[in-house]
Each structure stands twice: as C-alpha cells, then as structure tokens.
Amino acid sequence: MDFEEIYSLYSPQIFRVCMGYINDREQAKDLTQETFISVWKNLSTFRNQSKISTWIFRIATNNCLRALERAKRVMITELPFHLPDEPHEETQEEKLTFLYNCIAELEETERIIISLVLEDLPQAEIAAIVGLTTVNTRVKIHRIKEKLAIKFKYHGQFE
Amino acid sequence: MDNLNDLKAIWQTANTTDLPKSAEMLRLVKKFRNQRLLKKILMIVLAILLLAVMVFVMFIYRSAMLTTRIGEVLFIITCIILVVTNSRSLKRFIDLKDCSNKEFIEFLEQTRRNQVYFYTRTQFIALCFCSLGLVLYPYEFVHIKLTWFIGTYTFVLLYLGVIWLIVRPRVFKKEARKLNETLERLEKISNQIK
C-alpha cells in the first residue's frame, strides 16, 4: 500500500478520532497532518509487526496525547443554538456538536478509547493501540458508555 | 437516541471533505523537515564544530601559559557534554517507533524527567566549565596590556553576570514550571492507563 492509498483510506478516520479528542476543527486538521507526516517518514521502516491500521491509529493518538503539551485544555464548544421552549428536531450538526462536547468532558484516554469505538475498531485492536489488556479495555469501554449514557439522559437532547 | 449505534451514526456525519487531497498532502509532507529534532541536531553540529576548532587551535597554536591550556580543555569538555547529552536525547527519539499510548506516555514522562535533570545538573555543570574557560582562556592574550586586560575582563564578567544572574534563573524558572505542569498532566494520564 503506498502513501496516497493509505492517506485516502485513513485520513477521514484519523481526522474524526483527532476531532473526538481535541474538539477543535483546526487543531484536529493539524493533528491529522502531523500523523501523516509521521506515516510518510516511517512507512519504509514499518515492519508489519502490527496491522497498518493499528500503527496509524497509534501515531495519531500519540500525537493527540502529545498535544497536551501545547493546548491548555480541550475545548467545550457552545452548542450552536439556544434551547427553545418548545422541543424541535435537532440538526445532524447540533447532534454531532453535542456528542463532541460529551466526549470532551471525559478523561484523555477515555476520549481516545471512545473515538476508536465509534470508528468501529475491534476491542483487541483498541487494546493494542492504547496499551491495555483486552479485558481492561472492555471494562473501560463499558464504563465510558455508561458515562455517556448519563450525560445524554441528563441533557435529554435526543430522546 | 443514546445507544451506541446511534452515536456511531452521528459520529460518521463529521465533515471530512475539506481535508487536503492525497496529492496535496504528499506535497506537504515532502516539504516537511523534522522541526522538533532540528534544534537538537543543530546543537550537536555546532558543538562538534566548536570542538573541532578548539582541538585545531590547541595543536596549531601552542600556548605558553597554563591558563590558556586549561581554558581550552574546559571548552572542549563543555562541547563534549553538549554533544553527548543531545545525541543521547536524539537517539531516544529516533529509536521510538511503533508504540502504544501507554509506552508513549512513559516515554514522554522519561523525556521530561531527563529535561529536568538537564536543567538542574548537566546544564549547570556545562555552564560552570564554560564560564571558567571563558575567564582563563583570554588571560594569556590580554595580560600584557592593562587596558586590554580591564576591557576584556569587564566584558567577560558582565557577560557571565548576565547569564548566571539574569538569563539562567529566568529560563530555569519558566522551564521548571512548564515541565512540572507537563509532568503532572502526564502522570494523570499514566494513571488512567494503569
């Protein structure tokens, strides 16, 4: 697989994961770019010891973690609407912003794990990316889902 | 509306159309030079150059006084300290290839601890050697004339005073605060992966 193929295949996924972690479009784009700079530089030395997707997600999430040295804290964006007195049908964009805000309230590794879950990665792969055991990862995912469910119920946004 | 499949459906609606196209990204990455490591590489190259110049001077110009010889040796030691420290640090970054978040956080923690050690110990020792070298080295050339002696040593002592009493404490305080904050954050994340 050459660089351009890898980029076309993985860049949307990497961008969404970075967005889930950092909750800022421009920073997420920068992190995506940094990820692919690392991929390009190290592609020739990649030895297939892990799946290529695991390798790329590791680079991306490690870049996200490193971003903590630059960014003070993750943004919690104001919802782009005032809650009306009467319930209305939320747009996809509003739902997505709400989801990002809920994720932004989680801890750093939880943000990474849930972003990978939402990207539909198998639990074993998520475990390999984060560096946890599969059992531990399963427990973490369960807890994160519970936390998100509480947030969603509390806000009652999408019932 | 809050089950995982619904969330996945919302998650997938993120707009990714404005990401650079693959050909554009390829152009971008090819232009990229490793900025992060550039400073270290530059420091190593400069220290090696200075080291080479000092060794060359030592052999070409046979100084008569012991103070000059000691000054030269102190400069050489300073250069060696800089080359070794930066090369070790560079090697750690180059060796870091495919690693999990857990390993990466451990790597960052170790890097920051090394930096703290560098600022508190290594840099202090290197600066001591360099300062002493700077005081001893010019003596042979300026001791003949009083005006040269006073002029040179006023400049050297002023320069060292600024470095030791103003620049170093300020940089140290700023760096120490930044490093401690980063270490605290890294520790927090590290505890999440345990």
The tens digit of pLDDT for each residue in B178-193 reads: 888 888 988 999 998 8
Mutation pick from B18, B25, B94 vs chain A, by most beta carbons of A within 10 Å, is: B25
Q: Which A residues, 63 through 82, put their C-beta within 8 Å of a C-beta on chain B?
A: 65-66, 68-69
- ipTM of this model? 0.85
- Distance (Å, whole) CA B78 – CA B67: 16
- Give the contacts of A136 (CB within 8 A, at least 6 positions apart): A127
Please, are residues A59 and A11 in contact by the beta-carbon 8 Å criterion? no
Helix ranges (DSSP H) in B62-100: 66-95
- By CA distance, what is B19's nearest residue in A? A29
Asked if B29 reaches chain A (Cβ–Cβ under 8 Å), the answer is yes
Counted across chains A and B, CB pairs separated by less than 8 A come out at 128
- Distance (Å, whole) CA A65 – CA A78: 24
Asked if A101 reaches chain B (Cβ–Cβ under 8 Å), the answer is no
- Distance (Å, whole) CA B58 – CA B140: 14
Q: Report the candidate in B81, B82, B76, B70 with the shortest Cα–Cα distance to residue B135.
A: B70
Q: Report the candidate in B104, B6, B73, B155 with the shortest Cα–Cα distance to residue A68.
A: B104
Q: Report the candidate in A100, A111, A95, A93 with the shortest Cα–Cα distance to residue A77.
A: A100
Residue A78: pLDDT band with limits 50, 70, 90: low
Asked if B191 reaches chain A (Cβ–Cβ under 8 Å), the answer is no
Residue A87: pLDDT band with limits 50, 70, 90: low
- What mean pLDDT, rounded, does chain B reach? 90
By CB neighbour count within 10 A (0-12 exposed, 13-18 middle, 19+ buried), where does A17 fall? buried
Task: Spell out which residues of chain A touch residue B23, defining contact as CB-CB under 8 Å.
Answer: 4
- Distance (Å, whole) CA B135 – CA B126: 14
Cα-to-chain-centroid distance, residue B183 = 18
What percent of chain A stands above pLDDT 70? 85
Give the distance from residue B90's alpha carbon to the nearest chain A alpha carbon, in angstroms: 16
What percent of chain A stands above pLDDT 90? 64
- Distance (Å, whole) CA B61 – CA A7: 58
Q: Return the minimum-mean-pLDDT range out of A37-41, A89-93, A143-147, B40-44.
A: A89-93
Which pLDDT value is given to residue B157?
Answer: 96
Give the distance from residue A81's alpha carbon to the nearest chain B alpha carbon, in angstroms: 18
| Cα atoms found within 13 Å of the Cα of residue A11, Cβ hemisphere only | 26
Mutation pick from B2, B3, B187, B189 vs chain A, by most beta carbons of A within 10 Å, is: B2
- Give the contacts of A96 (CB within 8 A, at least 6 positions apart): B10, B11, B13, B14
Cross-chain Cβ contact A7/B8 below 8 Å: no
Task: Spell out which residues of chain B touch residue A116, defining contact as CB-CB under 8 Å.
Answer: none
Which pLDDT value is given to residue A88?
Answer: 63
Which pLDDT value is given to residue A68?
Answer: 73
Task: Spell out which residues of chain A touch residue B102, defining contact as CB-CB under 8 Å.
Answer: 130-132
Number of residues assigned to chain A? 159
Which pLDDT value is given to residue A159?
Answer: 46
Task: Spell out which residues of chain B touch residue A158, defining contact as CB-CB under 8 Å.
Answer: 1-2, 6
One-letter amino acid for residue A68 of the chain? L
- Distance (Å, whole) CA A109 – CA A140: 10
- Distance (Å, whole) CA A121 – CA A107: 20
Residue A84 scores a pLDDT above 60: no
Task: Spell out which residues of chain B touch residue A5, defining contact as CB-CB under 8 Å.
Answer: 22
Residue A79: pLDDT band with limits 50, 70, 90: low
One-letter amino acid for residue A155 of the chain? H
Asked if B4 reaches chain A (Cβ–Cβ under 8 Å), the answer is yes
Residue B94 scores a pLDDT above 50: yes
> In 10 A of CB A146, how many CB atoms?
10
